[in-house]
A and B are shown apart, each in its own frame.
Chain A
């Protein structure tokens, strides 16, 4: 029960124990717990960030959908107006073409009429000359009145 050299032995043992406990128990466990604390904090902030990013992405998705809808509407309107345009154009073209064809045909008819008229007038003049000749054969020399007959023919 007396204080003996055991005191110093125990003191050395105590110091050694403090060192050993620190080396094998305190240091690894407290650093591990610190790492865990860090990991939890990181995880929490990451989830917070993820939530924020999700919100942003949702907002962007809504924006993109809205834009796409607008664009689609615009395209549809454009297509509609373009189709009307094409129809109008086609109609106009057709009209113009038909008018052209009609005009051509009328011109052709005109020419035909003209030609027929000329032919007819020629023939009439010939007929008239012939008739006149026959009439005048007895009274007028053809050669003398040719100029007035030709003038007559031209007038016809």
Chain B
């Protein structure tokens, strides 16, 4: 596929190439190595940074990186407390922090020039590589589904099994429209994880695609006068989209975190609190 960059044709192939995972296995048993590798490396980075900060904690006068980490921590804690109030759950805050930091870092991979890492890896014999784990539906849906599982678990734990079934039967239209209620609530509940996962995936995928389209401007261009127009245009567009995308990745990580907290918070509300 390396020929694509040189032939000048094949823009479709170029894009498809960039949207293909480095994977092993067939069909359902396909393991996307790039997604797993990058996400694990970013996870390791978080853990390493956490250990480094945690090793020499300064209670009195924190400085530098610790300040930043504390700021993020307090931000997440505020979000959780706003949603949960008195109902304390020790799992929610670390979960929300993980979502925010990990998703943000995975999104951040989007800001690395689209061809840089694939080109470098091409030299060592890896032909396909998708750098951004959140442009892989598997990553976003994995997180969304885990949140969904937790939502169901806490719904049953807090409301009780009967309370949970009651929620399906008598919500949102009262006891006279039970069949409609079941369908409505089921759709509502299922839409939560699906929209949660697809939103992040869609935004990141679209962002990545825009970067690819911008990169297409000079794809296969020969040294000619037209390059004098296209090359500056690509640089300007790239920088503009990059700056905009910093907002997008932060916003998407934040939205994912807030929705996670909100869904889990809703699971903690008992019937009489409605």
Contact = CB atoms under 8 A, between A and B. Distances in A.
Interface residues of B, number: 47
B146 A29 contact: no
B78 to A, nearest CB: 13
B36 A9 contact: yes
B69 A6 contact: no
Contact of B94 (A6, A8, A22, A39): A22
A56 to B, nearest CB: 30
B47 A8 contact: no
Interface in B160-210: none
Contact of A10 (B54, B60, B74, B142): B142
B118 interface: no
B69 A29 contact: yes
B59 interface: yes
Given A4-B31, A5-B30, A21 B70 contact: no
A134 to B, nearest CB: 137
Interface string A9-20: 111011111101
Given A24-B51, A29-B54, A1 B137 contact: yes
Contacts of A18: 91, 94-95, 98
A10 B29 contact: no
Contacts of B35: 6, 10
Given A8-B142, A9-B36, A33-B70, A17 B98 contact: yes
A22 to B, nearest CB: 4
B139 interface: yes
Contact of A4 (B39, B51, B77, B138): B138
Given A4-B30, A26-B94, A29-B70, A20 B142 contact: no
B15 interface: no
B102 interface: yes
Nearest to A22: B94
A25 interface: yes
16 contacts: A3-B138, A3-B141, A5-B29, A6-B32, A13-B36, A13-B39, A14-B98, A14-B146, A17-B43, A20-B50, A21-B98, A21-B102, A26-B94, A27-B94, A33-B70, A36-B59
3 tightest Cβ-Cβ pairs between the two chains A and B: A25-B50, A10-B142, A22-B94
Interface of A: 1-11, 13-18, 20-22, 24-30, 32-33, 35-36, 39
